[in-house]
Structure 1
Amino acid sequence: MLDRDVCRRARLARDARFDGQFFTAVRTTGIYCRPICPATPPQEGNVDYYPSAIEAARAGYRPCLRCRPDSAPGSPAWKGTDTTLERALRLIDAGALQDASLDRLCSRLGIGDRYLRALFQRRFGVSPKAYARYQQCLFAKQLLHQTRLPVTDIAYASGFRSLRRFNACFREYMGMAPSQLRRQAGTTTGGLTLHLAYRPPYAWPVMQRFLARRRIDGLEWIGDDHYGRSFTWQHTKGCFTAIHDPRRHGFRVTLELDDLSVMQPVVANIRRILDLDADTRAIETHLAGAAPGLPLIEGLRLPGTWSLFEAGVRAILGQQVSIDAAKRHVQMLVETLGPGFADSAGEQRRHFPGPESIAENELAFLRMPGARRETLRRFAAWYRDAPKVDDPAHWLALKGIGPWTVDYARLRGTSHPDIWLAGDLGVKQALGALESESRIDPQAAAPWRSYLTLQLWNR
């Protein structure tokens, strides 16, 4: 439940830490806004507060053209208590209802469609399909504001297969035609460049150091203010560079894609690997109670890896070796099996190798015990044959894969917020170095134990 007094103070102060946590709907204008909206604040008696954009829309409000609610950071799905709903939202954000049916989504979740509909109705008051369509329209609105893409391309990039269907949905949810919004949007940036917002603070120097230490040449590139990499999404290849813009509380992301139809889930995944939707203020308040005396880094984020498969490969190659040794193994794997390409600037890049190329290679070029090479090949073969299984718990059935590998892959490959790596050497060393009065209760840190793990890694 939203605390009306907290919401009032946050919107009057335009506090960016609450951006995306709630939306202010103004009865006199029929518009809903972010807490940071630059417009003159309305009278308190004329506003209602909603925890999500879809709920404001369902109540009949249109998104503001000044503060652009489509650009707000999202609220973490696990803020609720229903893990099934959280998984459903994550899969929908990844395009599960763009390229498959509701029945297929329910099959992946292991539930019936009636139960899934009930979850969405109880939480948002709409069906899963309506929720997905509204997210597509919000993403299209962001593209209309921030890019020069033609409206037809924006429809395709937002997951619509028909321009007529796109126009109808956009009019229904946004209250105007896409072309009308484009005329009002004013100056836009060239190419595929988007601003992705976060709630401050954001400990970028810590994130930058973590990613730089594990950077794979050709696959990733990083500097003082940016991080970029190549990627594969389904059968589409691309690359992105995210430049940190602390004054605007976000990243300026330039994106290259072979196929615009996967743009929405690709952008959602970029948000995930940079952990842009975390509410670090709430997380650190919780951790302070579970770990009294532990100095906490303010604004710490979970550094993600592009895919669960890549996270699993990195975890296997990092078993019982140092970070630098694991990096050398991954570098050799990418240089030997990763497909090469040139980006739009002529830079030579590589993609991460797929399951097929790893499973079908002897991997003799990797200087490591033969048993570990076979573990990697077994893992790749399993992933090749079961690409839609998104629960790493199944990996435990594979010889050579234990709980640490699965948990590390969950932490970086899915950005799971509640992973406690009790057996990790870095965690053990950090705990051993703590003063005796700094007592840590990992169970009390739930559901944010991944952030506690990262706090200890960065001591």
Structure 2
Amino acid sequence: MTLDLATLRRARLSRDPRFDGRFFVAVLTTGIFCRPICPARLPREDNVRYYESALGALQAGYRPCLRCRPDSAPGSPAWQGSDTTLKRALALIDQGALDGDSVEALAARLGIGARHLRGLFQRHLGISPSGYAQHRRCLFAKQLLHESSLTIGEVALASGFGSVRRFNEVFRERIGLSPRDIRRRVSSTSTRKDTGQGLGQCLSLTLGYRPPYAFATLRDFFARRAIRGLEWVGDDHYGRRFRWRSARGHFTAFHQPERHGFRVELVIDDLNQVTGVIANIRRMLDLDATPSLIDATLRDAAPVLPLVEGLRLPGLWSPFEAAVRAVLGQQVSLVQARALTQTLVDALGERTPDGGCHFPSAASLAGSPLAFLGMPDSRRQTLRRLAEAVAGDERKPPHWEDILGIGPWTAGYARLRGESDPDVWLAGDAVIRRVLSPPSLAGGDSDIGIDIDKARPWRSYLLLQLWSHDHDNDP
């Protein structure tokens, strides 16, 4: 257990939202498990058991609470262990890697054997990769049953089940209720919408986070880089168009601070891909971060630096898009980089029926001379080499430094925004060098007392904190 018993008790009794998703509370007398923020009457301590994950509570035989709905809690990386390969495997499964593919294919993607992968899951989680995938599908299906107007057959499809019969069997086995039981007990507030022009299904979901959440800072970061036709930003929302495997669509995430979450309006033309799309939206908005832990680490590493509490990593849709934007931003200002990106999207982006466009595909970049871009030819060739390196799967990052023209800064930026790597440090970044030694913060000294190593494994957040002090010139 990553939290001591006294902390667990205090968090449960206070219903502290900062611990939402970091542990779950099972009640012996009812056979139900809840989030620590559940509004139900608090049980006696001797009737309570604590679990680090919803998976653990389900495996112990408890059913999820229909009131606080553990399926809608923010995820917690703490219980996944420290094995990097396991974390990658879990992230890929959350994105739908086993929805149609085998465990052997997933293992090959990770560069290990299937037996090794199964052993990792058994040692750390006590369950097989396929069992974990079933668990994730069931919790996501439960959320869709609560919040969407999709039929049960559509929920089965959207959550990754191959058939309604299989969905019913697995759901009843793992959740303890049938899908129809859930639908009878809740009334959906969503209504089926006609999106027009054949754009696809429209559904609305709530995605939670642990407070605090510095939405204004994240929103402004997105707004300074927003590309017309691809993205839109408002006072309380961020949205964009996307491609994901066979799917096309768009989403708008509306911030709801009173609910510690976002209401996401999603339009998608292939329900089979909903699981991966939602997981990627969560990553883009950094909804599974633990700000209390991150901020405490940064205060220790940089005691004199004024921190923006609840700062989140501003993700991009794919590692490929992040790397392209980084190359376009090499040795130019943010305004120039945005103009170059707009030119690229206007020229090569895939048009949509409603007048928008998607970010250009790797194939379109690789097949174009890119002569319309006002930049050195060496950088155009870097873009083409980059596109060739990710051909076939733009969601899978290559070995960035192996690509001629991709240096440490560009590779780090791609990992920071395209993979949401929490521990990127761009030592050569011009803004960082300037912010680390200004007279206004340092009193003329070149060292303002920041211990970079102490910020591990959250150096990406320290980087953003420093950028926030010079946001007019941030990358």
Question: Which band: TM-score by shorter chain?
Answer: over 0.9
The 8 Å contact of residues 76 and 288 in structure 2, kept in 1 or not, is answered as yes
CA distance in 2 between counterparts of 1:389 and 1:159 reads 19
| 1:453 equivalent in alignment to 2:460 | no
Q: Normalising to structure 1: TM-score of the pair?
A: 0.96
CA distance in 2 between counterparts of 1:220 and 1:422 reads 30
| 1:358 equivalent in alignment to 2:365 | yes
Q: Would the alpha carbon gap of residues 77 and 231 (structure 1) be closer, same or farther in structure 2, given more than 3 Å must change?
A: farther
CA distance in 2 between counterparts of 1:391 and 1:255 reads 25
Deviation at residue 362 of structure 1 after TM alignment: 1.1
Residues 344-402 of structure 1: per-residue CA shift (max 9 Å, x gap): xxxx2110110111111111110001111111111112211x5278344x232221111
Equivalent in the alignment of 2:242? 231
CA distance in 2 between counterparts of 1:157 and 1:174 reads 18
5+ residue gaps in structure 1? none
Deviating more after overlay: 427-436 vs 274-283: 427-436
CA distance in 1 between counterparts of 2:162 and 2:33 reads 28
Deviation at residue 187 of structure 1 after TM alignment: 3.4
Q: Normalising to structure 2: TM-score of the pair?
A: 0.93
The 8 Å contact of residues 219 and 351 in structure 1, kept in 2 or not, is answered as yes
Equivalent in the alignment of 2:304? 293
* Superposition map of 1:37-436 within 5 A: 37-76=38-77, 80-191=81-192, 192-343=203-354, 348-384=355-391, 387=393, 390-392=396-398, 394-433=399-438, 434-435=441-442, 436=445
The 8 Å contact of residues 230 and 240 in structure 1, kept in 2 or not, is answered as yes
SS for the counterpart of 1:188 is coil
Identity %: 58
Amino acid at match of 1:173: R
CA distance in 2 between counterparts of 1:4 and 1:46 reads 14
CA distance in 1 between counterparts of 2:156 and 2:330 reads 44
CA distance in 1 between counterparts of 2:266 and 2:397 reads 29
The 8 Å contact of residues 230 and 350 in structure 1, kept in 2 or not, is answered as yes
The 8 Å contact of residues 16 and 37 in structure 2, kept in 1 or not, is answered as yes
Amino acid at match of 2:452: P
CA distance in 2 between counterparts of 1:212 and 1:234 reads 27
CA distance in 2 between counterparts of 1:79 and 1:150 reads 33
CA distance in 1 between counterparts of 2:208 and 2:146 reads 15
Deviation at residue 118 of structure 1 after TM alignment: 2.0
The 8 Å contact of residues 167 and 178 in structure 1, kept in 2 or not, is answered as yes
Amino acid at match of 1:43: R
CA distance in 1 between counterparts of 2:397 and 2:150 reads 36
Deviating more after overlay: 428-437 vs 209-218: 428-437
CA distance in 1 between counterparts of 2:56 and 2:452 reads 35
SS for the counterpart of 1:340 is coil
The 8 Å contact of residues 207 and 262 in structure 2, kept in 1 or not, is answered as yes
CA distance in 1 between counterparts of 2:79 and 2:173 reads 29
The 8 Å contact of residues 362 and 394 in structure 2, kept in 1 or not, is answered as no
Deviation at residue 204 of structure 1 after TM alignment: 0.6
SS for the counterpart of 2:241 is strand
Deviation at residue 209 of structure 1 after TM alignment: 0.6
SS for the counterpart of 1:252 is strand
CA distance in 2 between counterparts of 1:387 and 1:52 reads 31
The 8 Å contact of residues 77 and 86 in structure 1, kept in 2 or not, is answered as no
The 8 Å contact of residues 319 and 397 in structure 2, kept in 1 or not, is answered as no
Deviating more after overlay: 136-145 vs 68-77: 68-77
Amino acid at match of 1:322: S
Amino acid at match of 1:455: Q
Equivalent in the alignment of 2:200? none
Deviation at residue 79 of structure 1 after TM alignment: 6.5
Residues 11-36 of structure 1: per-residue CA shift (max 9 Å, x gap): 11111100000000001111110001
Deviation at residue 340 of structure 1 after TM alignment: 1.4
Residues 54-77 of structure 1: per-residue CA shift (max 9 Å, x gap): 011111111100000000000126
Deviating more after overlay: 119-128 vs 284-293: 119-128
The 8 Å contact of residues 319 and 395 in structure 2, kept in 1 or not, is answered as no
The 8 Å contact of residues 53 and 79 in structure 2, kept in 1 or not, is answered as no
Deviating more after overlay: 330-339 vs 69-78: 69-78
Amino acid at match of 1:134: H
Q: Would the alpha carbon gap of residues 77 and 159 (structure 1) be closer, same or farther in structure 2, given more than 3 Å must change?
A: farther
5+ residue gaps in structure 2? 193-202, 470-475
Amino acid at match of 1:380: A
Deviation at residue 115 of structure 1 after TM alignment: 2.0
CA distance in 2 between counterparts of 1:31 and 1:4 reads 20
